[in-house]
Amino acid sequence: MALDTFFHNKIESMKLEIIQGQAVLRRLEAQRNEYNSRVRLLREELGLLQQPGSYVGEVVKVMGTKKVLVKVHPEGKYVVDIADNIDISKLTAGKRVTLLSDSYKLSSLLPSSVDPLVSLMMVEKVPDSTYDMIGGLDEQIKQIKEVIELGLKHPELFESLGIAQPKGVLLYGPPGTGKTLLARAVAHHTDCKFIRVSGSELVQKYIGEGSRMVRELFVMAREHAPSI
């Protein structure tokens, strides 16, 4: 009887050791899989690091179906080849791209880099302000219609005359004289997005940050063209 009890206890003890060993084995297998995943990721990163670096450029103009003029700071402008996997319809002016360092071939498209503070400057919907809300600026309204609104609504008139469309106007005067309201009215009548910018928002603590925001502001404006 005592012998049976001994072997029974021994068997139960061995079963417990087997269960514990299986748990340890599963834990080790999970660690092995995790390490294998890390090794695979490190190998992929190593392969990317061993590839030649790329330059970041900006599309100036598409030239035919195989070439594009790009601007690379601070080197200048180059006419480069386009990789076969690039959708040429996405190569619009101002688009950020990468160029292979050895051949300057356009290899990929980059997302636009716009500061979140700049994105907040845009009013998503078309303003509801109209010219009827503005008093005492009849002459200014007439001039801005000829310079801005006419070019946006009827660009063919400028093309037929062989002249370039005006790029903008400067509204000046003390606060409260209707400058912003007039700009919003232009956006309303031309069905454009309105971007409101305060000069103080472009004054930054660090050198170069303000000019960077101005560049990104124009990038955003081009992406949401037409915009005021």
Mean pLDDT of 196-212: 66
What is the distance between the alpha carbons of residues 173 and 119, in angstroms, rounded to a whole number? 27
Q: Residue 106 contacts by C-beta under 8 Å, 6 or more apart in sequence?
A: 57, 68, 70, 80, 81, 82, 83, 86, 91, 97, 98, 99
CATH of 54-109, one of 2.40.10.340, 2.40.50.140, 1.10.1070.11, 3.40.50.10440: 2.40.50.140
Mean pLDDT of 61-83: 84
The answer to whether domain 116-223 has CATH 3.30.9.60 is no
pLDDT of residue 120: 56
Mean residue pLDDT across the chain: 79
Instruction: Reduce the DSSP state of residue 180 to 3 states and report it.
Output: helix
pLDDT of residue 115: 56
pLDDT of residue 119: 57
65-74 pLDDT tens trace: 888 888 887 7
Confidence of residue 205 (pLDDT cuts 50, 70, 90): low
Residue that the structure tokens 């990317």 belong to:
48
